[in-house]
Structure 1
Amino acid sequence: MNPERHIREPNSSISEKLSTEFRRIIEQHAIYCVYQPIVSLQDGAVYGYEALTRGPRNSIFHSPMELFKYAEKTGTLYALDKMAREKAIQGSILDHDQQLLFINISSEVIYDPQFIPGKTLEILQKYGLDPRNVVFEITERSSIEDFALAKKILEHYRKQGYRIAIDDAGAGYSSLQAIAELHPDFVKIDRSLIQDIHTNKIKEYILETFVTFAQKMNIQLIAEGIEHRDELTKLTRMGIHYAQGYLLGKPELHPASISEDQRGLILEYRKLHSGGTSWSIGDLVTPIQMFDRKAIISEVANYFKINVDAVGAVIVSDDVPVGLIMREHLFRQLSAQYGFSLFWNRTIDHVMDEFPLIVDEQMAVELVSQMATSRSIQNLYDLVIITSSNKMAGVASIRTILESITNVRMETARVANPLTGLPGNLQINRDLHKRLKEQKTFSVIYADLDYFKWYNDRFGFQKGDQLIQFTADILQQAIAVCGSLYDFVGHVGGDDFIAISMIPNPELLCQEMIRRFEQGVHRFYGGEDWDYIEDRSGNRIQSEGVTLSLSLVVCQCESPVSLEQISYASAILKKKAKAYNGSVYFSHHIGAAGAAI
């Protein structure tokens, strides 16, 4: 037997089976979509879903990687991509018309002669969706070769209302160039940059660059592949807009909405990130006139004529906002040629803006500002509609939003610590007075670095600042993991911090702070060794380096407690902790009968 033929026959057989199986999938439309939630890191609401294609469950082409790789190899990528888009739209599970459906499109498909504008719109209309609900997510299975042509094609879709996302930023062939050339609405940060970001400073610095860039370009960032709470905490504190990953929801045919516990965690992390100084958009809500979507235009026009200061009105259906009509837009429509005769007796839903900016009352004012100011120039000064549990709550004007941001930034800059951005002494004292007034049990943890002067002298002030920032990070991370919704972290100054917590077992919080500190502090030594270190008096001491001393004062408030008592108890505990070689905490209860150190 010819050995070459003996080798070729199995390969030929496998190739034929693959071809037959793939052809069957295409002919029978034997693919389906699962949906993974994309969650807002401002209010914990589900912002949209990414549609992910799957082949038949028992097929070699079940994996989308194998499926699309084979289609690309055999020149059938467009046929598969078109089918995947239709399946994604057909099975769409959007809860309301403000949510988005993210649909993957290979960069190669853009150039395909069969990529005919209008085909996706036909599919959307068939299933009752609108282009403004769809985000084309450009995947980089291969690099984009002709950015000018790609930009021209995508601009056509943008004009219809579609939005554009660049996938796998930080891992693709040319994702940075794609961002620069295509000016996407969203950038999805690849899992490779997200994994363990809470312990990897290099990844953190790279992501900080993305955040700064996104703010300047009005781009929304989506972090992919989040699997751990620490990652979520860090990303929320860094100002990432949206998150996606197994921690928040797995890809499923009908994924459950994010749980209240998960939403509570995100709101808690957001509070920690803002240091308690940021406003939610609900704080700015003002009432506004509402009309049913079937109200006659003449009725709305007469309202504006009588109420000369009214700039707009919200159009609702069963108390759910479905549109916005601005005074200027309505009168411009009516004053056009034949406008009066065409519109006067028609219903308001014929001329309203069907896609105004609608946000939940919990969303941070700064994020709403970014969303509002990234709108087209025609809608830049339109009112922002605010909802509570998806029901109409009121509106906020652009002027009010920008003024509130200015006030918050001025207040934060005035009282926050400039190195860590954490609340300073003024806010710390406010928080302590508030808790003492409430007379509920709470705990105060004073944190202090041991031998920090030695570290500063040996490694320099820049490294010292980095160690201070690291300490601020681990305290906040520990609070996020073990603390409660109303906990607080402040920076007294230098290497002194304070944490205030309402949890019933604050000892666990101290243990978590020490664990995180010990786990990460070694990387600040750069591999150096030493025989001894020096304390502030110049005495030589055997030590492995900087340690963390914690003083835990539990205020039971069964009897009156004062700030002086808290400070006195903390000073004694700090002295005990400093006498101990290594990271440690000592605790004491005050405000209860018989309590003694």
Structure 2
Amino acid sequence: MNMAADQEMNRSMKRDEEHAFAREQFLQLLRHKQIHTVYQPIVSLKDGIIAGYEALTRVPEDSGFESPVRLFEYAEKEGLIYPLDRLARETAIRNSLAMGGRELLFINIPAASLQDPQFAAGKTIELLRDRGLKPEHVVFEITERSSIHDFAAAKQVLEHYRSQGYRIAIDDAGAGYSSLQAIAELHPDFIKVDRSLVQDIHLHKTKEYMMETFVAFAGKLHIEVIAEGIECEEELLFLTRMGVHYGQGYLLGKPGTEKADVAPGLIQQIVQQRKLHDYAGSAWAIEDLTTPIQKFDRKTLISEVANYFKKNGQAAGAAVVSDEVPVGLIMRERLFQQLAGQYGFSLFWNRTIDQVMDDGPLIVDEHMPVETVSQLATSRDTNLYDLVLITSDGRLAGAASIRSILEYITNARMETAKVASPLTGLPGNLQIHRELNKRLQENKRFSAIYADLDYFKWFNDRYGFQKGDQLIQYTADVIQQAIVVCGRPFDFVGHIGGDDFIALTSTDMPEKLCVEVIRRFDEGVRMFYEDEDWSYVEDRSGNRVATSGVTLSLSLLVCENASPVTLEEISQASARLKKRSKSQSGSVYVSARIGLPAKEDGEPVGSAYPNSSSS
């Protein structure tokens, strides 16, 4: 008995010694400021430019704490999180790689630190001033090491910081309930999606759907999404096509103490894949609204610009360029307001225009859809009615006014409403014919994919017209989503009528697009059967056909346009393909080519490619 007591006493003394040793190591680390910071780049998935850096705390190898996570866990357990967090924040700012401009510095803040009485004491601003930074350059990233217990108090602290210009990010979104609650309660500016949802997202549909949900609701709340833990190109390109705003991970840049550079090849792929997302399904580009605009070199005197506006009373603004690349905008009224102020004339008349121009105007590529430009323009907090500058290959092409953009969208929507399908909202036959004619006139290769539901009459009779309408809407969504993933900018989806659709695409791999449409359709169609399993359906004559339910037949017609092709030829060829695809079981696509060089042309030659996943 005494021996057991002695052993327990020895173990207790050993624990006390270990605890005292760990505490002394921790306090020594604080006293001597032995932690250091590395910085990992956060990259825009719009243009591949580094948007900022996340500051990551590191500890010496001989500190007794094997990782920063263990260090912060120990500090929180021992009630020492406040001084550790303050030291980490000071170190992050003091050695920051973000030097102002448009780069942001993301600083991790444990949720528990929001209760620190010294957290809002103004120390951070002093550190920033010493480093030449401003609050608008800093994003406080609330980490989920511990849950926020008092959201009211946390909101009060964060509002104090927001009022000074700081922004807020919620880390580890999707990794637990508390992060989702934090999003709802704190209304952050950024959501950082946990790497567990990012890893192999291109291989897992559940992760894809969850990310789509994050992007969709973040867009409604004007929150930007950052995907963490990107380690392979497939993940990066998939996330870019989905519309995720920013990416972070070893593929884009490892944590370090020097400025990072994104590989030029990755930047090029990001830009290309982003266009697939931004321009998918769009018929109208901003280039249609481009009008000439006066341009001045950035070192032009303000007096010269003012005299131009005096002589040209209808000119609302002028572009400021450097080697033909737009770098700013000067609006007529704003310039004259500055000159009309006290001493304005004497202060500004002989200065250069780059000292008073707006150096952050809205600049868009000529191929950007008008609706996307409208959304960007109307979401601006200031200068809402300023001109939009338009570029072609990076050089100034002209400008468009907000009025012209809104009028164009209104007229286009009215025209679309007249001829669009009332069920799906997709363009109808009039616009389909226009789009086909336009592509034939361009003499460029494109593909037409005709989609038709099999046994839709059986489904309608069995489940009713309301369910039938829902299945048609689902099919329209499937085709549009597949276009975003596998299509190209300005691809087109139309509703011919009933359960017939058409997609026009310029992708080099239309077969891959067909496979994606079929995969998405087959994965989701079973939800319409109300938990019933079907081994047969009935055809239009009432005969039983062995199949698991409604399937999708695709007819892929590749128009090479190496020789003239007419709408009638497309119609006849697609009818033959449709007959072939409908004769096969399961969801399939069949393909053929027309418009081949004269010596090859003749009866279209094609092959049937049944979907390998169909039953």
Bin the TM-score by the shorter chain. 0.7 to 0.9
Question: Does 2:80 align with 1:72?
Answer: no
Shift of the 8–234 alpha-carbon distance from structure 1 to 2, 3 Å rule, reads same
Question: Does 2:257 align with 1:249?
Answer: no
Quote how far apart the aligned CAs of 1:266 are. 1.9
Residue of structure 2 aligned with 1:260, choices 264, 268, 276: 268
Listed as ranges, the matches of 1:229-308 within 5 Å are 240=243, 242-244=245-247, 249=252, 251-253=254-256, 254-256=260-262, 258-272=266-280, 275-280=281-286, 284=290, 286-290=292-296, 292=298, 297-298=302-303, 300-308=305-313
Question: Does 2:223 align with 1:220?
Answer: yes
Contact 2:283 2:490 in 1 (8 A): no
2:49 counterpart residue number: 46
SS at match of 2:252: coil
SS at match of 1:566: helix
Q: Which shifted more, 325-334 or 200-209?
A: 200-209
1:454 counterpart residue number: 458
Contact 2:85 2:110 in 1 (8 A): no
What is the CA–CA distance in structure 2 between the aligned matches of 1:484 and 1:35, rounded to whole Å?
32
What is the CA–CA distance in structure 1 between the aligned matches of 2:367 and 2:150, rounded to whole Å?
42
Quote how far apart the aligned CAs of 1:260 are. 1.0
Given the two structures, how large is their TM-score scaled by the length of structure 1?
A: 0.79
Question: Does 2:529 align with 1:525?
Answer: yes
2:583 counterpart residue number: 579
Shift of the 445–314 alpha-carbon distance from structure 1 to 2, 3 Å rule, reads closer
Residue of structure 2 aligned with 1:561, choices 562, 565, 569: 565
1:31 counterpart residue number: 36
SS at match of 2:572: helix
Shift of the 236–317 alpha-carbon distance from structure 1 to 2, 3 Å rule, reads closer
1:210 counterpart residue number: 217
What is the CA–CA distance in structure 1 between the aligned matches of 2:47 and 2:503, rounded to whole Å?
25
Contact 1:37 1:248 in 2 (8 A): no
Q: Which shifted more, 388-397 or 525-534?
A: 388-397
User: How many residues in Structure 1 have an aligned counterpart in Structure 2?
Assistant: 585
Listed as ranges, the matches of 1:58-97 within 5 Å are 65-73=69-77, 74-77=79-82, 79-81=84-86, 83-84=88-89, 86-87=91-92, 90-92=95-97, 97=101
Q: Aligned partner of 2:245: which letter?
A: Y
Pairwise CA RMSD:
4.5
Q: Aligned partner of 1:547: which letter?
A: T
Q: Which shifted more, 134-143 or 259-268?
A: 134-143
What is the CA–CA distance in structure 1 between the aligned matches of 2:466 and 2:254, rounded to whole Å?
44
1:426 counterpart residue number: 430
Task: For structure 1, list consecutive stretches of 5 or more residues without a partner in the other structure.
Answer: none
Deviation digits for residues 32-75 of structure 1 (CA, Å, limit 9, x no counterpart) = 233243434xx444372351414248578575544443343332
Deviation digits for residues 325-361 of structure 1 (CA, Å, limit 9, x no counterpart) = 4444444444444555555555656655555555565
What is the CA–CA distance in structure 1 between the aligned matches of 2:137 and 2:429, rounded to whole Å?
46
Question: Does 2:122 align with 1:115?
Answer: no
Task: For structure 2, list consecutive stretches of 5 or more residues without a partner in the other structure.
Answer: 606-615
Deviation digits for residues 74-123 of structure 1 (CA, Å, limit 9, x no counterpart) = 323454355346536744368x9345444443444344333356544444
Q: Which shifted more, 282-291 or 525-534?
A: 282-291
What is the CA–CA distance in structure 1 between the aligned matches of 2:327 and 2:562, rounded to whole Å?
52
Q: Aligned partner of 2:525: which letter?
A: V
- Percent pairwise identity: 52
What is the CA–CA distance in structure 1 between the aligned matches of 2:361 and 2:489, rounded to whole Å?
32
Given the two structures, how large is their TM-score scaled by the length of structure 2?
A: 0.77
Deviation digits for residues 190-215 of structure 1 (CA, Å, limit 9, x no counterpart) = 6678868855898589558725742x
Deviation digits for residues 15-35 of structure 1 (CA, Å, limit 9, x no counterpart) = 456545545654345332332
Contact 1:102 1:135 in 2 (8 A): yes
What is the CA–CA distance in structure 2 between the aligned matches of 1:386 and 1:336, rounded to whole Å?
31
What is the CA–CA distance in structure 2 between the aligned matches of 1:237 and 1:460, rounded to whole Å?
36
Contact 1:285 1:394 in 2 (8 A): yes
What is the CA–CA distance in structure 2 between the aligned matches of 1:123 and 1:237, rounded to whole Å?
39
Q: Aligned partner of 1:112: which letter?
A: D
What is the CA–CA distance in structure 2 between the aligned matches of 1:558 and 1:351, rounded to whole Å?
54
Residue of structure 1 aligned with 2:500, choices 480, 496, 499: 496
Deviation digits for residues 295-319 of structure 1 (CA, Å, limit 9, x no counterpart) = 6555554454444444445556666
Contact 1:68 1:77 in 2 (8 A): no
SS at match of 1:3: helix
Q: Aligned partner of 1:271: which letter?
A: Y
